[in-house]
Structure 1
Amino acid sequence: MSKAQGLRFAQLSDPHLTSLDGVRWQQLMNKRVLGYLSWRHRRRDEHRGEVLDALMRDLRSIRPQHIVVTGDLTQIGLPVEFRQARLWLDRLGDPERVTVVPGNHDAYVRASWAATFSLWEPYMRSDADVRGAQAAGRLLFPSLRVRDGVAFIGLSSATPSAPFLATGALGSEQLQRLRRLLRETRERQLFRVLLLHHPAREQDEKWRKRLTDGDALCELLQQEGAELVLHGHSHRSTEVSISHGGHEIPVFGIPSSSAIGRRPGRRASYHLYQVQREGDHWSLQVEVRGYRIDSGSFVRQHERQLSLPVISSTSR
């Protein structure tokens, strides 16, 4: 097969872009009061508007063909925050070129879908020609969006958790639907990018912050495969892998895209991925772009090149 044009896309995560100024105490009569105190005493000084502005400038200069956001756009999941985040998403790009999956901060407590996640549906919903594209609520996931040979498969690990926990879960039904999608997209020989908020492997996160059915997800991926897994949640840069059929599926986690970086290794960065098919292999270039305080801008930090096999039903 001749060399294809490919796709360049960006991954952002954990922008925590909303403000809680003006929130009334009546809105905090549950776990949200803990999140509010965390924001007031720490997070509002860590997640900065000037960093997000620099991010937006950099993206407009580079002009990736697609952008994925792997969760935690809000602080404590209030309806007013979802409205703020929708305005920011509209600035980021058209829903056709921006894909969002939710994070645990976006599902801090149980809340009305109509007042919260419904505002983001254009950015989360599957392509119109995908089976179940008109589903609502958590049945939106897994979502499927295909762009230039790349299949973005979005998962929701966002579930309300008890105070002092930041766990996530996919659930057996979502995993069952994911298995079908992975098989269908493999048959089409698409480059499958799995998007979720929590790290896929349970051992990569603290017990109170882990994906509780991560082992089930990893077992599924070992059986069905994928080309790339992307997540956020940990607010740090990570790279691990999951074995499938004699090769490794790369798994990348990235820091918050808005963090000023008061702790080592936590300063804002994002990833640019260039995917291109070359015969029986995929070429994957990964570029890390990080925020520099001295220049107030994002700059290229480093990049690497990976080669991944094209997996078909016969090579499974």
Structure 2
Amino acid sequence: MRIAHCSDVHITENYFSLPLHRLGWRRWVALAELTVGGRARRYAQAPRTLAAIATEAQARQVDHFILSGDLTAYALEGEFLGARRALGTLADDPRRCTVIPGNHDVFTPGSHRTGRFARHFGHLLESDLPEYRREGAFPFVRLVGTEAAVVGLLSARVPHAPGLSYGVIGPAQLEGLAALVKDARLAGRAVLVTVHHAPLNPKGRPDRWHHGLRDADALLRLLPGPRYAVLHGHIHHRYHHPATAERPHVFGAGSSTEAGNEGYWLIDVAGGQITGGQQYTPVL
């Protein structure tokens, strides 16, 4: 069994074609990142790249496709529409595809309040075991074939200000996850827990205070050993920390559509264990 994992695709609108009053002050601040920081240039081909990744994953006959957040640059309606178009028919069916929001997808209070992410991707938050939901749709679980289960968590919160992009899962979701992994219906399955923020950075240490997952330790303690993996994005580096007896595999998908760093994981599952993964660069 194979699971495809990508993240941080950052579909980006042409911000300079939009009226400033529609953007709001948070996006005004972000314009510096788009221009001087070069983000708009690096993600100019993101729709094409995401479409190529989705097409390749299907050609490789993956059993499930996971996108661990940051579909958009700054949570504009047109960016969500662009991400949905790029994923094509893959995103029609929750049995084939899981997508969770990242911090860029709830960048403004308005985008969160109006449920912009859910309007386009809420059908992919369905759960095969809904009794474990604790915060809206989360945690949700999808039983994939007979060997795997994909669990979705929410760590992305509306930031108090641009530059503060830390994540929090929260005690309610963690309690639901703790109960879920003990459910007999998950026995013998590899469990791939998807969250946007990174529990470990590329060096195997906690991420920075203003950027990291605040309850990372609590998450990792619930998932010991090679039966489990945490799949995340947020940090724009692609890496894998193998499981130990005390913690799960950790797969960081990086930014799958960033120019010069395009790529995704194919993660292998066999005998109810995560057995490894391979990085692929899409053919563009």
Aligned to 1:282: 273
CA deviations over 1:274-293 (Å, ceiling 9, x no partner): 2121xxx63624121024xx
CA deviations over 1:87-140 (Å, ceiling 9, x no partner): 33344343220101111111112232444423211112213x53267x8xx410
The residue type equivalent to 1:232 in the other structure is: G
CA distance 1:185–1:74, change in 2 (3 Å)? farther
- Contact conserved, 2:240 with 2:249, CA < 8 A, in 1? yes
Aligned to 2:66: 68
- Contact conserved, 1:66 with 1:98, CA < 8 A, in 2? yes
- Contact conserved, 2:262 with 2:281, CA < 8 A, in 1? yes
Matched residue SS, 1:45: helix
Aligned to 1:200: 199
CA distance 1:40–1:250, change in 2 (3 Å)? same
Note the C-alpha offset of 1:189: 2.4
- Contact conserved, 1:82 with 1:117, CA < 8 A, in 2? no
Aligned to 1:105: 104
Unmatched segments (≥5 aa) in structure 2: none
CA distance in 1, matches of 2:163, 2:136: 27
- Contact conserved, 2:226 with 2:249, CA < 8 A, in 1? no
CA distance in 1, matches of 2:242, 2:106: 27
- Contact conserved, 1:35 with 1:75, CA < 8 A, in 2? no
The residue type equivalent to 1:147 in the other structure is: V
The residue type equivalent to 1:219 in the other structure is: R
CA deviations over 1:125-176 (Å, ceiling 9, x no partner): 213x53267x8xx410111000112110111111011221111111111111
Matches within 5 A, 1:124-273: 124-127=125-128, 130-131=130-131, 138-148=135-145, 149-161=147-159, 162-184=161-183, 188-201=187-200, 203-222=205-224, 227-240=228-241, 243=244, 246=245, 248-261=247-260, 267-273=261-267
The residue type equivalent to 1:105 in the other structure is: H
CA distance in 2, matches of 1:171, 1:31: 25
The residue type equivalent to 1:28 in the other structure is: L
- Contact conserved, 1:182 with 1:226, CA < 8 A, in 2? no
- Contact conserved, 1:221 with 1:242, CA < 8 A, in 2? no
Matched residue SS, 1:238: strand
Give identity over the alignment, percent: 28
The residue type equivalent to 1:78 in the other structure is: L
The residue type equivalent to 1:235 in the other structure is: H
Matched residue SS, 1:286: strand
Aligned to 1:36: 31
CA distance 1:186–1:198, change in 2 (3 Å)? farther
The residue type equivalent to 1:45 in the other structure is: R
When structure 1 is superposed on structure 2, of 145-154 and 80-89 the one drifting more is: 80-89
Aligned to 1:27: 22
- Contact conserved, 2:198 with 2:213, CA < 8 A, in 1? yes
Structure whose CA Rg is larger: 1
CA deviations over 1:231-288 (Å, ceiling 9, x no partner): 1111112222565xx3652111122111112xxxxx11101122121xxx63624121
CA distance in 2, matches of 1:170, 1:65: 27
CA distance 1:185–1:259, change in 2 (3 Å)? farther
CA distance 1:190–1:167, change in 2 (3 Å)? same
Unmatched segments (≥5 aa) in structure 1: 1-6, 262-266, 292-296, 299-316
CA distance in 2, matches of 1:152, 1:253: 16
Q: TM-score, structure 1 length as denominator?
A: 0.77
Note the C-alpha offset of 1:187: 5.5
Note the C-alpha offset of 1:185: 5.6
Matched residue SS, 1:75: coil
CA distance 1:242–1:159, change in 2 (3 Å)? farther
- Contact conserved, 2:151 with 2:192, CA < 8 A, in 1? yes
Note the C-alpha offset of 1:195: 0.5
Q: Aligned pair count?
A: 272
1:17 aligns with 2:15: no
